[in-house]
Amino acid sequence: MACAMNMPRCSPLLPPEMELEIFKTAARVHPETIPTLLRVAYRVLTRIEPLLYETLVISYPTLPSFRHVLETKPASFWSKNVRNLLITGNIDVSDAMLAFSVLSACTDVRNLGVYVPEDVLPYIIRPGAATDKGRLQRLHVDAQTPIDLRLPAFMGLTHLTVPDKFDLQEFVTELPALPSLTHLRFRRAAHRESLCAVLDGCENLEVLVMTDARSNWTVQRVGGALGIEDVRFVLMPVRVYELINDWEVETRGGWDLWARAEAFVDKKRRGEIQPRKLGFEFSFRVLLIVCAASRCWIVKSDGIP
């Protein structure tokens, strides 16, 4: 009764370590509750606040105001806590310079997404960032500007999404600079010869994904025409507006593009994905049956979310 009448002086009913573990679990499972959890108690704030910044999304028009946030925390806070960083929006050069400052402060970023206009991309992806230490594991770039994959920051990359204007044939010559690369994705049509050159030249590659913003039927026709037998190749319909959401799903360990592609490749290796007849089409007044020797696209019956 005395305890109930004087709650502030009562010790937690659970051991402090267990109490904080419960709050951390709640924050990870339901990240939208973090702002509320921060107001529970100071001891909770000190443990939970770093989780709020574990995945950091900065975008226009909120990017300029982030300068103040950057200055309110010591450099060690950003280097210790930020693991996933997304820079997105129709930003200008001055905003890009600020984004570079953020990237430079987050020295232990493992997953970086950059979805910005092509003219400002070189101001963000360039030598001198703290990521040059080679700790970066995943890079997603959605722009028309090529990037130099020989930068020190990319030595440890395992997952890479390349810009649209990236030359796949030239990429084969840069493979020695990416010894850890296992997952590659690009968002544009490519010739069969270029795709096969990448697959043949990168033995460590586990998944090669080509995304297409067109309809499922068009994607299936493209896949059938390519006729690539390598089980590592996956063709997926993905709209541009879905890319950022997919990146956020990836940071939570959900069924993102990579997870779906991996599941499909595993099923193909086990012989669970059968070739599929695409259908019929007329060409020069001749009825053709279009078939795929090896299906490289996912269908509902595959049981992949």
Asked whether the predicted pLDDT for residue 295 surpasses 60, the reply is yes
- Under DSSP, the state recorded for 133 is G
Q: How confident is the model at residue 286 (pLDDT cuts 50, 70, 90)?
A: very low
Of the candidates 162, 149, 109, the residue with the CA atom closest to the CA atom of residue 133: 109
Question: Helix, strand or coil for residue 49?
Answer: helix
Average pLDDT of every residue of the chain: 82
In this prediction, residues 179-192 reach a mean pLDDT of 86
| Conformation bin of residue 239: beta by default, left when phi > 0, alpha when psi is -120 to 50 | beta
What the block records as the tokens of 186 is 């690009």
Cα 291 from Cα 278, distance rounded (Å): 5
Nearest-CA neighbor of 90 among 59, 65, 126, 114? 59
Task: Say if residue 83's pLDDT is above 90.
Answer: yes
More confidently predicted of 274 and 272: 272
DSSP-derived secondary structure for 283-300: ETTEEEEEE-SS--S--G
Q: How far is residue 125 CA from its own chain's centroid?
A: 16
Q: Is the pLDDT of residue 99 over 80?
A: yes
Amino acid identity for residue 276 in this structure: R
- The ranges assigned to domains in the chain are 14-52, 54-153, 182-305
State the burial class of residue 264 (Cβ atoms within 10 Å of its Cβ: 0-12, 13-18, 19+): buried
Share of the chain above pLDDT 70, in %: 87
What was the pLDDT predicted at 5?
53
Q: What does DSSP assign to residue 158? A: S
pLDDT digit string (tens) for 149-185? 888 888 899 999 987 667 777 777 887 789 999 999 9
Q: What is the DSSP letter of 156?
A: T
Sheet holding 138-141, edge to edge: 55-59, 84-88, 111-115, 138-141, 159-162, 183-186, 207-212, 233-237
Q: What pTM value is reported for the model?
A: 0.82
**Looking at residue 86, what is its pLDDT?**
94
